[in-house]
Amino acid sequence: MSARFVYWMNVSLDLKIEYVDAENGGGDWMRITETLHREFNRRAAALTANVEGRKVYEIMESYWPAVRNDESELEVMREYGEIWTTMPKYLVSRTRTSAQHNTQVIGENAIEQLAKIREESEGDIGVGGATIATQLLHAGLLDELLLFTHPAVLGQGRPLFDSQEKPVVLDLLEQATFPEGVTMHRYSVRKQ
């Protein structure tokens, strides 16, 4: 049995992941409260590893390792910092050759290497970053989407995926609503 790649992202109603460049996953259009972050923590702790593109990795690397031991931060934030820092990670980057925090760098032939990792692993492997998620989707390797949809229409910004050659058909696996007005939908990608 092989692992599954799960693209996990906060999105707007029009499926944008950031309104302006360098928003770094924290736009003021998002409604991330302690309740919602507890759900993030629960889901992140269940992953066996993460695959992140360079941009997402560097955003995470610049924040979470310091937060995990910062007593001025909420417990839920420290907990996520611990989860992210200690989890096995694969950084897909042509420009970085090293990384800390239990991270293996994948440079050339990333999709082929990720296919091998998927085949040789078990459980759910989180995917962070639209570029790498799009490449996995085009290669037929993306298994699920886990979308936390915030009640905002951005009208511009970075889309969930880069351009598609054909429609992506999904099957709903799970859904939930949170007090902030955020909805969660988990889909399987129908293989065609």
Structural domain boundaries in the chain: 4-189
Residue 34: phi and psi, rounded to 5, are: -60, -40
DSSP bridge partners of 148: 10, 184
Exposed / middle / buried, residue 140 (Cβ in 10 Å: 0-12, 13-18, 19+): exposed
77-95: b or e for each residue (b if 16 or more CB lie within 10 Å)?
bbbbbbbbbebebbbbbee
> In terms of CATH architecture, what is 4-189?
3-Layer(aba) Sandwich (3.40)
Per-residue pLDDT 10s for the chain (192 aa) are: 799 999 999 999 999 998 987 766 678 899 999 999 999 999 999 999 999 999 889 989 999 999 999 999 999 999 999 999 999 999 999 999 999 999 999 998 999 999 999 999 999 999 999 999 999 999 999 999 999 999 999 999 999 999 888 899 999 999 999 999 999 999 999 987
